[in-house]
A and B are shown apart, each in its own frame.
Chain A
Amino acid sequence: MLCYNGYYTAIIWRFIIVPVIEAQGLEKRYGEFIAVDNISFVVNEGEVFGFLGPNGAGKTTAMKMIQCVSPKNKGKLEVFGMDVSIDQRKIKRLLGVVPQESNLDPDFTVYQNLLVYSRYFDIAQNKAEKIIEELLDFVMLKEKKDTLVTLLSGGMRRRLLLARALVNNPKLLVLDEPTVGLDPQARHLIWEKIKKLQSLGNTIVLTTHYLEEAQRLCDRLVIMDNGKILVEGKPSELIREYIGTEIVEADNNPAAIDCLSRTSSKFEVVGDTIQVYTDDPQTVMNALLKECEFGNVLVRRATLEDVFLKFTGRKMRD
């Protein structure tokens, strides 16, 4: 009987997929200030999972707890089924981290940065040398191998940070604002690399406030504000659910608002414009042009930015 149970346990176990990250009721305080307020989420294997939010939303704090460098105050946080407050060393061995601000070693060259970092992961030097050659190829920094990192451009530094994060062949990549401050060329290159890593089966968690970036890269994402998760889902589904596929924009005037109120359309007034959310822009436009007196009317596709602004509001952040 015991054997029989054991056999089934083994079978069941194979079908239980342990999520890469599981957070429940996670909380982080700095004194009175609550940086992360009772959030729950699950990141599955092979997924690109995004944390979006305005500055100070608690994204970076959440990343730091996942990286085991900032202790949680409350709730559960497991990475690969291991508790972040107990198995820090084991978790960190499986992680690759690209921080928001460059912390490359300015005393070293590109190559030395990677070599010294590989030592922290107990990678033997001859093995490390091989890995580093491959990584420099991957991020296209081979020619800069012997350049001091202080002499690199912002885009090159980001690429080097990405290469450094891959030195230990991580099972989970944590990217905190991977393209902040980069020009479009450098940004596209980083996106391409992230896509490539995803296609190789890597699990990636990233924070960003570039919504185009999130829309392109993320399989699923959460929008955070004031330490809380406001909404979670796939980018396309979030847009469809909360905005509709299209947006009709028109100049703001009282007559138009009055008219829209009568037609029971879903709309919002944003400064000088009125935005009408819809899945059928043609009908809405025709109706509006016929019945209401609009000046300029414009139809555009709804984006994640519309969802973002709907949830986080338009108030300026510090």
Chain B
Amino acid sequence: MSYFDVPKLTGSLWKVWSRNKDVFMKTFIVNFIPSFAQPLLYLFAFGFGVGNSINVMEGVSYIRFIAPALIAFGIMDSSFFECTFGSYVRMYYQKTFEAIIATPLSIEEVIAGELLWGATKSVINALIMLPIFAIFGIIDFPSSFLIIPFSFLAGLLFAAIGMCFTAIVPSIDSLNYPTFLFITPMFLFSGTFFSLSLMPDFIRYFALAVLPLTHVVIIIRSLTLAQPNPLMVISFVWILLATLLFFVLSINLMKKKLIV
């Protein structure tokens, strides 16, 4: 068994997705509040706080500069946490995966269903954030509508990366490491709150080479500003390939962990 075996999947994986959706819908309101409140808080803090001292970043107002970054961060945050802490709890504490693989579903389908659910959480997050930003008039339409389908792909990428961590950590506490060694640096250094061009070369190249959020921000900023970035296509291909890679890898890692 290698780390890159192509998983055999059937449509049954959507039943795992449905299970998670059903749980989500039970606590619907509680689930909506963070997606709603978080970007607003950032928007006020940075928009009024920093925005008053910085007038222009990369040729646009500071608040218009950070709006796409907040959307991108929301997309990353929702799927990454769903497939790290969320999946870990379902796997280890609730033994949900164990219960499902006693039915005709395979472990590959369970994990794929979890990943697709993670991606769906990103879409839900994007759907909540877009109207808020639209009301403030800081994102442009119709190009920003494309963020909705794109959030599924970007969400899938972070879901898959998160699931790889879930597969390799020895305990749930260890999931704090990827949070502050991976998520926090990305939050700060992916062209989110400061233009990448202000960064030293090595940070800029590092961000472009290995920080997935950089590419997500490039695409979403192109969409909210309705200004195509020359790197857009490269970023899209980068995300597509990385998603494929981590999707397959995470399923194989989980299979190794759970099927013994």
Contacts and interface: CB of A to CB of B under 8 A. Distances in A.
A92 B98 contact: no
Interface stretch (A51-59, A95-103, A203-211, A245-253): A95-103
Interface stretch (B47-55, B102-110, B175-183): B102-110
Interface stretch (A114-122, A183-191, A274-282, A290-298): A114-122
A72 B100 CA distance: 20
Given A105-B94, A120-B15, A70 B260 contact: yes
Contacts of B100: 120
A104 B101 CA distance: 13
A13 interface: no
A182 B102 CA distance: 23
A92 B99 contact: no
Interface residues of B, number: 21
A103 B102 CA distance: 11
B143 interface: no
B259 interface: yes
B106 A89 contact: yes
Contact of A69 (B12, B19, B22, B101): B101
- Most chain B C-beta atoms within 10 Å of own C-beta, residue among A99, A102, A104, A105: A105
Interface residues of A, number: 28
A99 B102 contact: yes
B94 A119 contact: no
Contacts of A69: 98, 101-102, 259
Interface string B162-187: 00000000000000000000000000
B227 interface: no
A120 B22 contact: no
A88 B108 CA distance: 13
B98 A106 contact: no
A278 to B, nearest CB: 46
B102 A95 contact: yes
A69 B95 CA distance: 14
B102 A92 contact: yes
A70 B258 CA distance: 9
Contact of A103 (B26, B95, B259, B260): B95
A258 interface: no
Nearest to A107: B23
A105 B100 CA distance: 10
A122 B105 CA distance: 10
Contact of A121 (B94, B95, B104, B106): B104
A158 to B, nearest CB: 15
Contacts of A106: 94
- Most chain B C-beta atoms within 10 Å of own C-beta, residue among A30, A69, A99, A122: A69
A267 interface: no
Interface in B1-30: 12, 15, 18-19, 22-23, 26
B22 A104 contact: no
A112 B21 CA distance: 13
A105 B95 CA distance: 8
B116 to A, nearest CB: 16
A121 B99 CA distance: 12
Nearest to A95: B102
B200 to A, nearest CB: 47
Contacts of B102: 67, 69, 92, 95, 97, 99
B26 A107 contact: yes
B23 A117 contact: no
A121 B102 CA distance: 10
A116 B19 contact: yes
A89 B104 contact: yes
Interface in B71-128: 94-96, 98-106
Nearest to A97: B102
A121 B259 contact: no
28 contacts: A30-B260, A67-B102, A69-B102, A69-B259, A71-B259, A89-B104, A92-B102, A99-B99, A101-B95, A103-B94, A103-B95, A103-B96, A103-B98, A103-B99, A105-B19, A105-B96, A105-B99, A106-B94, A107-B23, A107-B26, A108-B22, A112-B22, A116-B19, A117-B99, A120-B103, A120-B105, A122-B12, A168-B103
Interface of A: 30, 67, 69-71, 88-89, 92-93, 95, 97, 99, 101-108, 112, 116-117, 119-122, 168
Given A104-B99, A108-B22, 8 more contacts: A69-B98, A69-B101, A70-B260, A108-B23, A112-B22, A117-B99, A117-B103, A121-B103
